[in-house]
Each structure stands twice: as C-alpha cells, then as structure tokens.
C-alpha cells in the first residue's frame, strides 16, 4: 500500500515536520521514515524504520482485512502488495525526485519493464527510444517487447530534428531516454525532449540512474515517470539490487498493479538497505562528482590516455547543457576515457594492474569502479556496430568512488605505466 508521500508518516512527536520545503540533504536523511507508535507497556519508538521481515499481516478481526482488500481502508495484508519498510523507501525516493509516488521493484530492469507496462504500451504501439541505452534495457526493448508486438525505434536523442520527425511520423506512445548515456556520457536535454514528446502526444519516460536525484530531477523538467536502478547511486554501497519508478499520483494504481501482478517486488531488507544508502546520497554525490572532475583533469594530461569524456569538461559536446541541468553545475561522477594504442588486450592488462580501483560491472558505489564496455556491457554488439556508435576497444568507463582522489589517480597512473 502506498501512503501519499507528500505527508510523510512521522508517527512520533515530530509528526509536524514538513520535508517538502527542506533541502535535499535534509530530505535524504529524514525522508519517508516510518516509526511505529509505542506499543502497550513501552514508550519508545525506533529512530530507524524497522525491517518488517514478514510475508503477511494479521488484524484483530477479519472484517478489517476484508475492508483493506476492498480498498475501503489502507493497510498491509501481503508482502507482494507492500510492506511498511518498502513504503518508507518509496516515500523517501518520491520526496527526493519531487514526485507524488514511488514504487519499488526487485531490480532496475524490473522497474524499467513495469514503467513501460504501466504506461499502457501495448501490441501495435511504437516505443521511440534513445539508441545509447544500458545493454539489458536495449535487449528488453528489441528482444522482449518487440516479440510482444511493440514497434521499437532507436535514435540519437541529442539530434532533436530527428526526434521531432520520428515523433511526427511514427506517433509513438512513449519516448524513452537515459539522463546520461552509457558509456559515452551524452546528456539528454530533458526539458526540450519533454516538450517535443508532449507536443506529439507521447509520454516521456526517463531512466535517471546515472545522475540520481541529487544531480537532476527529471519530473521537474517534464518527465512523466522517472526510473532508477537503485542498485547504483541510491543504494551506493554495492550491496543491494533494486529499482524504483517515481511519478505523479495518476500512475500509482498502474505501477502498483504491475508490481503485484508481474511480481518483481522489492524485499523489505533490500528496501531498508537502499533507504540507508539514500541518507548519504548528497554527501556521496558531492564527493564522487568532485573526484570525477579531478580524475578527468588528471587523465587529460596523461601521456597514455588518448581521449577523456566527461560532461564537466568544456570540450564535452553537452557541457553547457550539463552545467544548466545538473545541481551546482556539477559534471557528474562518471568519466570515460580511451587508452592510447588501446587494444582489447592492453585494456584487460591495465585492469589486471589495478590495485585499489575495482574492475566490476556496476557503478555508483563508494568504491571507484572500472568497466570495459567492449568486453562487458556492449559485448553483444559486433565490433563494427561498436565502432559505429563510438565504443572502441580502448574505451574504459570509470565510476568515481569516495576514496581520496590522490589515491585513485595514483592507482590509475601505476596501472597505466605498468603496461
């Protein structure tokens, strides 16, 4: 059950606290908490939302349970239908994104799928999407949704003339983009794309995993739904898999229904871990963005690096857009770069030389993480297809962690020099 996130359930003395007008640092720490009222014979409440590790709930009488099932009163009946821990996380994320509601899922992919199903996308409809997508999202579109009769059309969403033309001719149900593309870190112009989509009667869905609500809040720029792989910056510690969709209240019933019927729901323990991660999201993002900017600068002057892609660098094609869209003009916490003479073997050798930074298939953690798109996230493309989209064998994607940046740069440098 989703309680309205606009009125956080502070079930203790601080129930008058209104978080809507607080800064994101305060919202991240206090958002969504569900502190159960003191029970019989006790006067205390936990300061942290408990993990309600239960698959069902019981009531004093059967009539109450029946009334909940009929939707006459709110309450919890069964884990797949919602838990207090899951609802606390949902309120926290909705608050951070400036949405009315959020619905949690077992992974980012489950969230992507549920958002599209809840949008009403059906057989015969067209899904217009950015071509620079997370690989599994692209496969979901091209292999699964296509098979179900959805027409999928991919294009470069930084080319607004092409987007306008495709919207006009293909009349899609949904325009789908990622705020920052992977691994080339192109930035989607959210306000412009939202306007274009809506002018042509399409819904605008945005995967904001790479930027997190700290950098940008797509709903404020016109998105109809925002999707996160909470496995990344929201969780932030590399210890949980989850996803969230945030939207206005009109989408609540549809999203909840997809969670319940398709069943990819978030467990109470994972919801709790993500909410715990969120408390430090602003701190982590500030540090990770600062570290990324310093790493990008260091790599720019490194003799063994041929090219650096970072939205915070003036040479990035969407540098001005990033400055305008992202909080405090930050450039994000992801850096991509190409090794000079970067054969596949040379990059793998470089990865093997790393001592502090971790080669792993994820991002957004407190650890600095590196990924080789050609042999992992984009290995499903042929070498020619990779070259065509600009992903060479020498390309490396780095997710800046919160370690001391001098240590990160020293590790990258020693791993490069040992080649």
Ligand X SMILES: Cc1ncc(COP(=O)(O)O)c(C=O)c1O
Residues annotated catalytic, as ranges = 80, 134, 207, 232
Q: How far is the CB of 129 from ligand X (least distance, A)?
A: 12
Residue whose CB is less far from ligand X, 24 or 266: 266
Q: How far is the CB of 238 from ligand X (least distance, A)?
A: 12
The yes or no reply on residue 229 touching ligand X (CB under 6 A) is yes
Q: How far is the CB of 228 from ligand X (least distance, A)?
A: 8
Q: How far is the CB of 108 from ligand X (least distance, A)?
A: 2
Residue whose CB is less far from ligand X, 76 or 141: 141
Q: 277 with 388: CB under 8 angstroms?
A: no
Piece of the chain touching ligand X by CB under 6 A; list 46-54, 134-142, 155-163, 336-344? 134-142
The yes or no reply on residue 107 touching ligand X (CB under 6 A) is yes
Piece of the chain touching ligand X by CB under 6 A; list 120-128, 129-137, 245-253, 275-283? 129-137
**Binds ligand X (CB under 6 A): choice among 52, 76, 81, 134:** 134
As given in the structure block, the two tokens for residue 332 are 């994000």
Contact code string over 257-286 relative to ligand X, x by CB under 6 A: ------------------------------
Q: 247 with 205: CB under 8 angstroms?
A: no
Cα-Cα end-to-end distance for the chain = 55
Alpha helix stretches (DSSP H) within 154-280: 160-170, 190-199, 212-215, 252-262, 268-278
Token look-up 């006459």 returns 72
Distance CA 199, CA 192 (A): 11
DSSP E strands in 208-333: the ranges are 225-229, 243-247, 305-309
**Binds ligand X (CB under 6 A): choice among 211, 231, 288, 336:** 231
Q: How far is the CB of 270 from ligand X (least distance, A)?
A: 11
Distance CA 279, CA 92 (A): 9
Q: How far is the CB of 206 from ligand X (least distance, A)?
A: 10
The CB density around residue 392, as the number of other CB atoms within 10 Å, is 18
Using CB under 6 A as the binding rule, the residues of this chain from 161 to 220 that contact ligand X are: 178, 182, 207, 209-210
Piece of the chain touching ligand X by CB under 6 A; list 39-47, 130-138, 309-317, 343-351? 130-138
Distance CA 87, CA 3 (A): 7
Piece of the chain touching ligand X by CB under 6 A; list 39-47, 55-63, 101-109, 161-169? 101-109
Number of residues that bind ligand X (CB under 6 A): 16
Using CB under 6 A as the binding rule, the residues of this chain from 309 to 368 that contact ligand X are: none
Piece of the chain touching ligand X by CB under 6 A; list 133-141, 269-277, 334-342, 366-374? 133-141
- Residue among 378, 360, 367 at smallest CA distance from 235: 367
The yes or no reply on residue 2 touching ligand X (CB under 6 A) is no
As given in the structure block, the two tokens for residue 291 are 């570290």
Q: Is 73 left (phi over 0), alpha (psi -120 to 50) or beta?
A: beta
Distance CA 291, CA 381 (A): 31
Distance CA 397, CA 395 (A): 7
State which residue has the least CB distance to ligand X.
Answer: 108
Token look-up 């919890």 returns 76
Distance CA 334, CA 348 (A): 20
Q: How far is the CB of 210 from ligand X (least distance, A)?
A: 6
As given in the structure block, the two tokens for residue 413 are 């440098």
- Residues forming contacts to ligand X in the complex (CB under 6 A) are 107-109, 112, 134, 136-137, 178, 182, 207, 209-210, 229, 231, 241, 243
């Amino acid at each position: 059950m989703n309680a309205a996130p606009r009125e956080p359930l502070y079930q203790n003395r601080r129930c008058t606290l209104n978080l809507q007008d607080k800064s994101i640092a305060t919202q991240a720490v206090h958002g969504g908490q569900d502190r159960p009222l003191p029970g019989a014979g006790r006067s205390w409440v936990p300061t942290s939302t408990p993990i309600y590790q239960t698959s069902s709930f019981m009531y004093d009488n059967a009539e109450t349970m029946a009334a909940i099932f009929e939707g006459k009163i709110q309450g919890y009946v069964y884990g797949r239908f919602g838990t207090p821990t899951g609802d606390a996380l949902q309120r926290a994320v909705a608050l951070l994104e400036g949405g009315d509601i959020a619905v949690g899922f077992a992974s980012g992919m489950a969230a992507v799928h549920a958002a599209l199903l809840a949008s009403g996308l059906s057989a015969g409809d067209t899904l217009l999407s950015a071509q620079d997508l997370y690989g599994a999202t692209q496969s979901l579109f091209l292999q699964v949704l296509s098979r179900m009769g959805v027409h999928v059309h991919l294009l470069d969403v930084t080319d607004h003339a092409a987007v306008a033309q495709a919207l006009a001719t293909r009349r899609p149900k949904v325009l789908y983009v990622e705020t920052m593309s992977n691994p080339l870190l192109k930035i989607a112009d959210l306000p412009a794309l939202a306007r274009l989509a809506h002018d042509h009667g399409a819904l605008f869905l945005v995967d904001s995993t790479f930027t997190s609500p700290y950098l940008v809040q797509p709903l404020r720029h016109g998105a109809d739904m925002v999707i996160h792989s909470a496995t990344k910056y929201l969780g932030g510690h590399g210890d949980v898999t989850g996803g969230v969709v945030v939207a206005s209240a009109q989408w609540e019933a549809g999203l909840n229904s997809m969670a319940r019927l398709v069943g990819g729901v978030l467990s109470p323990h994972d919801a709790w871990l993500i909410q715990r991660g969120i408390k430090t999201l602003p701190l982590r993002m500030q540090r990770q963005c600062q570290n990324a900017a310093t790493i990008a600068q260091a790599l720019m002057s490194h003799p063994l690096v041929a090219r650096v892609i970072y939205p915070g660098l003036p040479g990035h094609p969407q540098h001005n857009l990033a400055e305008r869209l992202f909080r405090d003009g930050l450039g994000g916490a992801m850096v991509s770069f190409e090794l000079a003479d970067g054969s596949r073997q040379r990059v793998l050798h470089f990865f093997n030389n790393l001592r502090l930074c971790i080669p792993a298939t994820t991002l957004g953690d407190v650890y600095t993480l590196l990924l080789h798109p050609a042999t992992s996230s984009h290995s499903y493309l042929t070498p020619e297809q990779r070259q065509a989209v600009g992903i060479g064998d020498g390309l490396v994607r780095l997710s800046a962690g919160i370690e001391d940046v001098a240590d990160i740069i020293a590790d990258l440098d020693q791993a490069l020099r040992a080649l």
